[in-house]
Amino acid sequence: MGIVVINFKTYAEATGQRAVELAKICEKVAKDTKMDVIVAVQNVDLFHVSSEVSIPVYAEHIDPVKYGAHTGKDLPEALVENGATGVLINHSEDRAELAEIEDDIKRAKGVGLQTIVCAPTAASSEAIAALSPDFIAVEPPELIGGDVSVSKAKPELISDTVKLVHRIDEKTPVLCGAGVKDHEDVRIAMNLGCKGILVASGVTKAKDPEKALLDLIKGMKKERKKRTGAA
C-alpha cells in the first residue's frame, strides 16, 4: 500500500480551472506509476474536477447536517452527488471537536464517503482511532506549509502515532503530512509505518507538479522495494 493524498486547500494554483488541470496531472501520474493518488479539492470544485478525472476526489469539508434548512452547509449527500468519494475531516485549518468529528464520520459513512481524519498529536490520533475513520493523518500544525518535513523534524510523532492508533485498531492506516517535499521525506514516513502521505504545497506550489509528485512516489517505491523486493 502507498497512497498520496494531495490537498488542494485554497491555493490559487489549485482553484477552479487550475484545480482541474492539476487533478489531470495527478491522474496521469497515478496511471503512469500505478499508485493510488487522491486529490482533495475545494467543495465548490468537486463537480468540475470529478467530471474530468477518474482518480478519487475528496471534499475538504463536510457538515453533518441532513436535508433541510441549513444555509451555507456542506450536506453529505450533496458532496456525493457532486462527485466526492471521500472527505477530509478535522484538518488543522478546519478543526472540529471530537463530538463533531464523530458526527462527521457517521454521516460520511452513511452516504458512502471515505474519511481521512487529521490529528495534530499521537494522543489525539488515538482518540480519533476509536471512532473508526478509514484513515488517520497526523500533521504537526507548526510544520504545515513549511520546508521542514514531519519525517525529518518529528519522526517520533509518526512512530508514536502508528503505535497508539494500532493499539486501538491495527487495521487503521496512518498517513502523515506537513512540510513533505521530496522522496526522502516520504521514504522515512513509510519506514516509520505510514501507509501514505498527505501533502499540499510540495505539489500545488511546485514549479513542475508532475515532477514533484513523481519524486514523492519514488520515495514510496523505494521503501516498498526494500520491504518486499517488488519494483
Residues lying near ligand G3P in the complex (CB under 6 A) are found at 7, 91-92, 139, 144-145, 177-180, 198-202
CB of 155 to ligand G3P, least distance (A): 16
The x, y and z cell numbers of residue 6, run together, are 494531495
- Cα–Cα distance measured from residue 33 to residue 27, given in angstroms and rounded to the nearest whole number: 10
Question: Strand, helix or coil at 36?
Answer: strand
Give catalytic status of residue 139 as yes or no.
yes
Active site residue 91: yes
Please report, as a single letter, which amino acid is at residue 198.
L
DSSP 111: T
Which is closer to ligand G3P, CB of 86 or CB of 170? 86
Closest residue to ligand G3P, judged by C-beta, is 201
CB of 165 to ligand G3P, least distance (A): 18
Decide: helix, strand or coil at residue 144: coil
Nearer to ligand G3P, 86 or 202 (CB): 202
Nearer to ligand G3P, 12 or 230 (CB): 12
CB of 87 to ligand G3P, least distance (A): 13
Grid coordinates given for 172: 487503521
Annotated catalytic residue, options 27, 48, 91, 126: 91
Backbone phi, then psi, for 52, in 5-degree steps? -105, -15
CA atoms within 13 A on the CB side of 199: 32
> Between residues 30 and 51, which has the closer beta carbon with respect to ligand G3P?
30
Positions marked catalytic: 91, 139
